[in-house]
Structure 1
């Protein structure tokens, strides 16, 4: 799971850098919020999760680990797409709000699941 998270995180990092370079080249920083979310929840948080799995979550419950991984990836992907559409002026914020809310909750659920796995791993090591 650690490798999957780092690989997806690096993929988001590449996407975020491409968007950042595009904004700089066009002098249009309208997608700044999208860029920040790609870099933070896409790259940084995925990378942190990958480090957590590698260093501490060595034998997580497989179903819990999969749920955590996919909730983070789906949530992040939907957040990024919605922000791109909203800040690009393609779709109204009102239309995207339910999708943004749901996907943000998925990202939160993912972090809660990592916390739960940390708590469980501490109990196992005692």
Structure 2
């Protein structure tokens, strides 16, 4: 699970950098919100979670880890795709999809937090 998240985080890093480069070249910052979320919730959060899951494999053997991985990795792309569509078209009809993706992502991150607090124990 850890290696999988590290790889997904690396993909988000590439997407975030390319999106930032695109905005720089076109002088159009319209997708800055997508760029920021892809880098923070995709690259940084998933990379850190992947490293923690890799270093502490006991964190991966419970339902909280599974919930985190699935909710985060379904919610984030959903939120980013519809946020990009909303920002580029100005169509508010994408709002409920953004909210759905955001809710799934937040629930996934909360599952991660609960998992860390409940299952990451100091060595004795």
Q: TM-score, normalised by structure 2?
A: 0.87
Q: Check conservation: 1:57, 1:118, Cα contact below 8 A.
A: no
SS at match of 2:60: coil
Partner of residue 20, structure 1: 20
* Deviation of 1:59 (Å): 4.5
1:55 Cα deviation after fit: 2.9
Deviations 1:2-24 (A, max 9, x none): 11111001101101111111111
Gaps spanning 5+ residues in structure 2: where?
none
Unaligned runs of 5+ in 1: none
**What CA distance in whole angstroms lies between the structure 1 residues aligned with 2:95 and 2:50?**
29
User: Measured at CA, do residues 55 and 48 of structure 1 come closer, stay the same or move farther in structure 2, by a change above 3 Å?
Assistant: same
Where 2:23 maps in the other structure, the secondary structure is helix
Give the aligned CA root-mean-square deviation in angstroms.
2.1
Match of 1:114 among 112, 115, 119: 112
Residues matched between the structures, number: 124
Q: Distance in 2 between matches of 1:36 and 1:120?
A: 30
TM-superposed CA distance for 1:125, in Å, is 7.0
CA distance in 2, matches of 1:36, 1:59: 28
CA distance in 1, matches of 2:26, 2:121: 53
User: Does residue 42 of structure 1 match 2:55?
Assistant: no
Contact 1:13 1:38 in 2 (8 A): yes
Q: Distance in 1 between matches of 2:123 and 2:60?
A: 12
**SS of 1:15's equivalent?**
helix
2:80 aligned with 1:80, yes or no?
A: yes
User: What are the residue-to-residue correspondences of 1:48-63 with 2, within 5 Å?
Assistant: 48-63=48-63
